[in-house]
Structure 1
Amino acid sequence: MILSVKGLAFQYPSREVLQDINFTVAKGDFLAILGVNGAGKSTLLKCLNKVLSPHAGTVFIREEDTGKLSRRELAKRIGYVAQRQEGAFATVFDAVLLGRKPYIQWEASQKDLEITRKALKSLDLEGYALRYLNELSGGEQQKVVIARALAQEPELLLLDEPTSSLDLKNQFEVAKIVRNVVQDNQMCAVVTMHDLNLAIRYANKFLLLKNGVIFAAGGLEVMTPENIESVYAVPVKIKEIEDIPVVVPV
């Protein structure tokens, strides 16, 4: 297993958010974390990446306790894409090169530059290398931050609602990119998502949060109308269109 989470819990001063969270993620897995607003999806990602400190439990990367790793060492293992990105006046190449920061001592080496070029190529961004971030569309900017995370050469990608502000075309493109980079690079991804149909189409593992606990977890078999209705309080049916399952509210 690449990621193992055991007994994780977190609370803000006013309320408990997560309780007794346990799950594992293996190489090649694309795990979609699902649930209503306020269910704790983003909080869970931040606990995995030490942005927030869990009040209980342990997170392991390859059996290493992340609580004992420095920020630099953690960044070599986990690539994190937050829900909101801060704008910067930088070229696409320089923005992706920032992903090499955990490895750079004094200045970027030839290896750092080559890994940056490889990350750009993997997301078809080579032609954008010298363009500035503020010249890009939302979908293009999202590809850049994913490329930056890939440049870290992590084993685990954490993405917080990477498709939430994108148009339909870019939603599907970004979700497909995440699936492909996980498979091509022998890594794994944990992604918070709102769109159930995107999740079913591209993820292979699912974790449904409800009231701060795991309501259901597993493969496609847990994405049943009964489970979805219990979590989202909306009755649904699941239909197949050209062998693709589609969630339809009724």
Structure 2
Amino acid sequence: MENALVKVLVVDDDPALRQLLADYLNRHHYDTLLAPDASDLPARIQRYAPDLVVLDRMMPDGDGAEACRRLRQQGEDIPVILLTGRDETVDRVIGLEAGADDYLGKPFDPRELLARIEAVLRRKKGASALTKDRPVAFGPFVFDPATRQLHKDQEPIRLTGGEVNLLEALVNNPGKPLSRERLLALARDDDEGERNDRAIDIAVLRLRRAIEDDPKQPRWIQTVWGVGYRFSP
């Protein structure tokens, strides 16, 4: 993220609080996205690809903790900080059990939220650094991100640079549905010129032909209808 602002999605039904947080975070060089409810939270995450979600616990359309739980059940590992008007131990436990990375009671100082955002992102970055270069094994295959090579039963499989980028994007997000737009960003290869949704579909088809026993009934790279694709190790 050295060349791009970190994106934070703020989901809260209070328009004044949303705007306050947007102004504060923007002043501290964050790209802040706003939403009034969590009704289509997974779609917003796929569309905007934020780096972190600030999510209100209690909203008219439902429980933010339950929305967080559904994200985790769908394989979405984006960091989530829950906000609540009830700063009680039981609410903190419910939020953390739902998969939230941190919990902040209202009212709060925006400086504390900023500190928590930065702490969560540091932990996330540290965890990613520990695993990003480790080989990933699935079935008879081993993909080594460090060497950008794929082997099947220790025999190398030839892939184009774009196919390697796509495979790396998928294996780095196991179980997580990725939209074509998100895959375009993650698997970008400047040497291949402009790419579009159709190019991603073609790259997925070629990758399936290389690793699937039956590309029409894929085991590893599954289609998520209405969203995109998911790597299922």
When the two structures are superposed, what TM-score results if normalisation uses the length of structure 1? 0.32
Larger radius of gyration: 2
Structure number with higher strand proportion: 1
Q: Which has the higher contact order (CA 8 A, sep 6+)?
A: 1
Higher helix share: 2
TM-score when scaled to structure 2? Answer: 0.33
